[in-house]
Amino acid sequence: MTSLTTVGLFAGIGGIELGLERAGHRTELLCEVDLPAQRVLTTRFPGAQLATDVRKLKSLPKVDLVAAGFPCQDLSQAGATAGITGSRSGLVDEVFRLVASPRRAPTWLLIENVSFMLHLDGGRAMAHLTDRLSDLGFAWAYRIVDTRAFGLPQRRQRVIMLASRTEDPRPLVLLGDAASNEQVRADGRANGFYWTEGLKGLGWAVDAVPTLKGGSTIGIPSAPAIWLPGGEIGTPDIRDAERLQGFDADWTAPSVDDPLRRNGPRWKLVGNAVSVPVAEWVGRRLADANKAYAGEDELLQPGQPWPKAAWGRDYKAHGLRVGPWPEQDLYQHLSEFLGNPVRPLSERALSGFLARATRSSLRFPEGLLDQVRRQLDLQRVAAKTAGPNAKAAAQLRLSIPLG
């Protein structure tokens, strides 16, 4: 087993770095501009040097791997979709600047971002990345990977790309294609959806939450809703959100002065993070990189859509069919995973979602809107009868212990 030294650019709260360390690798340098995230990094990675602005880094230490989960705001469906040259996502070019020097180049470059990057702007975002890698002499391989493959009940698909000037990244990224154990029957399970949606989408996830996000359609970080088997609808505790990303509970507590009251910044940090077990999977592959690639692929033609998995070098790309589950860990059912009571959706949140849902032409899961109306009526009755502390009383009665 090989232990690598690593640098984490756009480190966030250290999801990639924690996963790599769990696989036996060592973090030398972290770079992150966000102050709350910096507080987390200095607490959780006390042995690593911290830089604050990738644009001001003149060079990197000589390490084996550079990781970059570069900003996704310009690439995400939830963001502005300004493209790879947007003010935030365009910072990926700083990564290429820092790894350009052959004298100090790392053996490996690990890039992570949203799966929508494959389709944005007619595929130009991916063309930009792969062309820059070819400019610098890197071979590359990527695939979409789903967090659920590693047992966590969060539907979160991200592009994982590994590149190298001297090594073959294909067996590390593209081998392994496990069958999905994705659930399709919602009955008797805890199911997730975006309560901030309702007009054009729902983000419905069976036995899972939809992707935790750093932003939402209402412009602020917000937790997805969970419809529990008993009928209650609420949002997960921030500590369970951290666990849904593979962190320990309270991983982001150092980011705020009062972690029991100020959770907005923590939700943003968790939503923007890389799932730890996905990075650990990459780290394990890197530690045992002795397999040969024997995949069946075909040369992609110019203008052809980017597939869910591909590899390339020298400005040529080859696509292949592998799914987003490179392995299949024992799945943790959402209702059993939650370790803290859900927070019932407020009257305002319920009424807003219901108003959007009734205006839309979407088809909703059977019984969902009826339960929204039932919970909304209960809160309104409690608000009329419980006096000054009505909302708190109503929410308290709706809270349920989850063990």
Catalytic residues: 72
With CA atoms as reference, report the closest residue to 104 among 29, 12, 13.
29
Q: Tell me if 91 sits within 8 A of 31, measured CB to CB.
A: no
**Is the four-CA dihedral 301, 302, 307, 312 of positive or negative sign?**
positive
**Whole-angstrom Cα distance, residue 325 to residue 278?**
10
Token pair in block for residue 287: 């530690």
With CA atoms as reference, report the closest residue to 194 among 150, 140, 233, 146.
233
Which residue is associated with the tokens 């963001």? 79
φ, ψ of residue 9 to 5 degrees: the values are -95, 145
The secondary structure element, H or E, covering residue 154 is: none
With CA atoms as reference, report the closest residue to 327 among 268, 260, 280.
280
Q: Tell me if 154 sits within 8 A of 209, measured CB to CB.
A: yes
In a 3-state reduction of DSSP, which class is residue 97?
A: helix
In a 3-state reduction of DSSP, which class is residue 73?
A: coil
Query: Euclidean distance between the first and final Cα of the chain, in Å?
Result: 39
Alpha helices, DSSP H, located in 187-250: 238-244
Q: Tell me if 141 sits within 8 A of 96, measured CB to CB.
A: no
